[in-house]
Amino acid sequence: MAKQKIFDFLRDLSANNSKEWMDANRKRYHEAKNIWLAEIELILRKLLTHDPDFEHLRAKDTLMRITNNRRFHPNKPLYRDHFACSPNTDLQTPGFYIHISPSGSFIGGGIYRPPSTVLQKIREGIDYDGEKLKQLLRSTPFTDMYTGLDPDEQMLKTAPRGFAKDHVHLDLLRRKNFTAITPITEAQVVADDFPAFVERAYRSLKPFCDYLTQAVEFEA
């Protein structure tokens, strides 16, 4: 199980989070990274059958840097404790995300903290046909892998400006975050059928992401 080396490396990195340790273990880092890149290649081939936009996407373009951006958060560790795959790099459109870490792994997607203009479009889509979104969230294929939308700590306490305070879909309109995730185990990630599992997670999430995409791209 070559993928086990990813978790072994990340576990040791988390316990020895320093430049000195990383410099001494640079070979292990590149080995783990290349194993993850090979897995992403397999995943992208499967996702391509559902979305032609993945055709020209390179595995390395989906990776996040291993170093944390500490410009505004100087107390963060120097290195991240996870590897990820994010095929959608545009933060203004719904995307899909894979996160693997010894401290917790998950698959999910949607749109996280969109800009105000994008959030407004999503709210207008909910105002127009929020029942369709609710139906998607309580039906298959979504419920095959996900239990609902993630908690939103920044949710408004009341209706956003321009929407009725007793709106039938107020619970959705108050949101600033439209994502769903499903936790995964280390054993699931290192298993040979992980790419197929990711494909199922993507297919389950796609109708939800398609709804958000239609709202974001709608031109009045």
**pLDDT tens for residues 202-217?**
999 999 999 999 999 9
Do the beta carbons of residue 68 and residue 80 sit within 8 Å?
A: yes
Token pair listed for 149 = 């939308």
Q: Per-residue confidence at 176, pLDDT binned at 50, 70, 90?
A: very high
Q: Which two tokens stand for residue 187?
A: 């054993």
Coil, helix or strand at residue 40:
helix
The first and second tokens of residue 94, run together, are 């719904």
Q: What is the pTM of this model?
A: 0.92
Q: How far apart are alpha carbons 62 and 98 in whole angstroms?
A: 10
* Eight-class DSSP state of 64: P
Model confidence over 137-159: pLDDT tens digits?
Answer: 999 999 999 999 999 999 999 99
Could you tell me which residue, 53 or 62, shows the higher pLDDT? 62
DSSP for 133-166 reads: HHHHHTSTTHHHH--SPPP-TT--SSPPTTS-TT
Report helix, strand or coil for 37: helix
Per-residue model confidence as pLDDT tens digits over 91-122: 678 999 999 999 999 999 999 999 999 999 99
Q: What is the pLDDT of residue 72?
A: 73
Which amino acid is residue 189, in one-letter code?
A: V
User: What per-residue confidence (pLDDT) applies to 89?
Assistant: 64
